[in-house]
Amino acid sequence: MVIRIAAVGDVHLDEDVVGRFRPALEELPGRADVLLLAGDLTRHGTEAEARCVAREFGGLGVPVIAVLGNHDHQCDQVPQVVGALEEAGITVLEGDGVVLDCAGGRLGVAGVKGFGGGFAGRCASDFGEPEMKAFVRTTTESADRLSAALRSLDCDMLVALTHYAPVPDTLAGEPLEIYPFLGCYQLGQAIDAAPTALALHGHAHHGSERGVTPGGVRVRNVAHPVIKQAYSIFYLGDHLDQAQVSSVGAGGTQQPWS
């Protein structure tokens, strides 16, 4: 039995862009069991832009599960943004999870926006000024919420959904100087502490598609500018013990406007 997961991030919708994904999205019910959105759904996080997201991704005929990104926080309208998405039937995760009954088994999705901080040997540390301690505390608290959510789900297949990257592999192509603002190793540790089959993230527009955590979990950067299609589809096979990402990027319609 196979669970089919469509995913995209960083669609950055506003009135100028809304509608461009919809033709490919209309094909989803025959292609995937669920659509995951990896944050940066809007340009500046306004309620009006969130209503564009709701129009684009609402009523698709498959469950849609999202996390927010940093852009979705820009205008300090997170409650309104979440409200607009949820009105359209989109589930927004932040430190929690959901289990879906799919034809191929029970799919658990745990999600959190995540935060920056950097990776092994090149990361921010909980030392010095209060501002730096607050920064690192935001990182660790976010990763702790992901860890708890992942371990709370009773399912056959477990997927971690974040905006920030859990590994540096999928940042390849970005300037090294900004890696600490693109993700953190603590998210990778959270993913490795649970029987995660697949980790999906966005945020790194100039990064690369494939990576792996230190514990061997496959990581995929599904930022739209990276995948260059409306969505990618991932196929997860039989049981957590043998979970395989057997095909990547097989779905979606090529968009000329990435």
CB of 45 to Fe ion, least distance (A): 11
Cβ distance to Fe ion smaller for residue 70 or 140: 70
Nearest Cα to Cα of residue 25 among 106, 88, 119: 88
CB of 167 to Fe ion, least distance (A): 16
Backbone angles phi, psi at 133, to 5 degrees: -65, -40
Buried residues in 13-49 as b, exposed as e (16+ CB within 10 A): beeebbebbeebbebbeebbbbbbbbbbbbbebbeeb
Cβ distance to Fe ion smaller for residue 10 or 156: 10
For residue 108, the one-letter residue type is G
Query: Which residue is associated with the tokens 């999870």?
Result: 97
CB of 116 to Fe ion, least distance (A): 10
* Residue ranges binding Fe ion (CB under 5 A): 10, 40, 69-70, 203
Backbone angles phi, psi at 166, to 5 degrees: -90, -10
Strand-pair partners of 45: none
* Sequence-separated (6 or more) residues with CB below 8 Å from residue 131: none
Cβ distance to Fe ion smaller for residue 124 or 193: 124
Cβ distance to Fe ion smaller for residue 40 or 174: 40
Cβ distance to Fe ion smaller for residue 37 or 194: 37
CA atoms 86, 92, 98, 104: torsion sign: positive
CB of 254 to Fe ion, least distance (A): 20
CB of 243 to Fe ion, least distance (A): 27
